[in-house]
Structure 1
Amino acid sequence: MFKHTLALVGLSLITLSANAALYDRGNGLIYDDVLDITWLQDANYAYTSGYAAANAVGSPHSGSTNIQADGRMGWGAAKTWADQLSYGGYDDWRLASAGNSPTYGYDVTTGELGHMFYNNLGNTAATSILGNVSFTDATLGGGTQSFVNVQSDAYWLGEEYAPDIGHALAFNTNNGHQHTNGKWYSHYSWAVRAGDVSSVPVPAAAWLFGTALLGLAGVKRKHC
């Protein structure tokens, strides 16, 4: 009886873990337990932090290092901003990745922004991300949360386009299309870092599993 019930609890844990995705860690940090990465909740922090306005240079689409006051930048400037960003006690931020062996087009979920657009937020191809920027916080007792300052426009990804290093990869949040573009274009940037920021993360599934084990231990003692 004990082994059978434990197996059912284990199955429940697997199911809940598969469904869990985003955890609000507070302080503007959102953890994705599927990709094991942490996002800034602010999808245009280069603007809201004042960085873009303070470092604005060049006109839109004028070169890889151009920075616009609204947060858009050339690819080189975007890489520099993300690599030098310090937030929440962490200084290992970067641009979102296109993933291994990136592909192009709609419904591409192998990259981090594609995974966010389609899997986490449930948006569909040829629609704007602004249709849904909210998610259910998988933290125990969490409610509905939203990303902020999300732009329905192109966002730079961290990888160059290998056949032509004058281009880099980007993801259009206005329609869910992953593509390449010249590094001189002015696009937005969304910072991400590897791993969780919670020192002792306790997902709802793990809490349920631990509680169930304690209950089962009591059941076993009753039948001994």
Structure 2
Amino acid sequence: MNRLQSLLIALGLCASAAAHAVPIAGQGNWQTQLHARDLQGHAVALDSAAAVFFYDSLLDVTWLRQAGPAQTWSQAQAWADGLTVGGYSDWRLPKVVDTGLPGCARVTYTGGDCGYNVPLEAGGQYSELAYLFHATLGNQSAYSTTGTFRGFAGQGTTWGLANTGGFDGLRTDLINWSASPVVGSANYAWSYHLGLGNQMLSERGVQGQALALRNGDVLSPVPEPSALLMMSVGVVGLVLRRRIQR
């Protein structure tokens, strides 16, 4: 049994969804960088019940607010590919940036692809799940960059998925699938564990959650007041003209 499996069992993550996390004001950049949209693409408040999409203005991607069901990697890929929400059908799973370091030869606490506190960006590309966890939501991994375990008492408060930032259905008992297969392996794909803040390789046949996103914004422009006024005047004029003709 490896260190990650031991930690999962010790934390009780295999038996609990630990869905106690809430939006935390002032933690991470979600209140300034995320912009909520309703199903029609109209801008709404981040805490609005009508919010269906969260647009990240730095990454220029739109997340679905609701996380997907538990499924295998291939099922998650098909689920994202088959989604049509708000008239958009170009949804995908998040990407992982391969920094060029060897896969999961060892778990690292900083700077490595596999482990804790992984690089959020490399060469202008982002590891989107890691960025969401650390930067957008301001959460911390179970281990510090020096390899110090932050303590069981802090799970879900000082580390782990303490802040959800308004996302719904995020689970800490499952990995989250990425779109990135492991190069040279037909059996593994990259994943991210929101309960631990850990990026890892996972067997494609295990159950994991999926968050869908697409490139760009879904914002629908609202007509300017002047345009609405001219439209109204035009309609009134047309009605009057028909009455005069009669």
Q: TM-score by structure 1 length? A: 0.61
**Structure 1 unaligned regions, length at least 5:** 1-16, 45-70, 135-145, 202-224
Matches within 5 A, 1:127-206: 127-128=155-156, 129-134=160-165, 146-152=166-172, 153-200=174-221
CA RMSD of aligned residues (A): 2.1
Per-residue Cα deviation, 1:117-170 (whole angstroms, up to 9, x for no partner): 000000001154541112xxxxxxxxxxx1111111310000100021211000
Structure 1: how far apart are the matches of 2:34 and 2:67? 15
State the AA in 2 paired with 1:112: E
Aligned-residue offset at 1:105: 1.5
Could you say which residue in structure 2 is the equivalent of 1:91? 89
Matches within 5 A, 1:103-114: 103-108=113-118, 109-110=120-121, 111-114=127-130
Could you say which residue in structure 2 is the equivalent of 1:12? none
Describe the SS at the equivalent of 1:131.
coil
Aligned-residue offset at 1:100: 4.9
Instruction: Give the paired residue count.
Output: 147
State the AA in 2 paired with 1:166: N
In our comparison, the structure showing a higher alpha carbon Rg is 2
Structure 1: how far apart are the matches of 2:184 and 2:36? 38
One of 123, 128, 143 as aligned partner of 2:139: 123
Could you say which residue in structure 2 is the equivalent of 1:6? none
Aligned-residue offset at 1:104: 1.8
Could you say which residue in structure 2 is the equivalent of 1:75? 73
More helix by share: 1
One of 30, 34, 49 as aligned partner of 2:54: 30
Per-residue Cα deviation, 1:88-108 (whole angstroms, up to 9, x for no partner): 110000111113547221112
Q: TM-score by structure 2 length? A: 0.56
Could you say which residue in structure 2 is the equivalent of 1:42? 66
Structure 2: how far apart are the matches of 1:73 and 1:149? 14
**Structure 2 unaligned regions, length at least 5:** 1-28, 40-51, 101-112, 122-126, 143-154, 223-246
Structure 1: how far apart are the matches of 2:84 and 2:99? 29
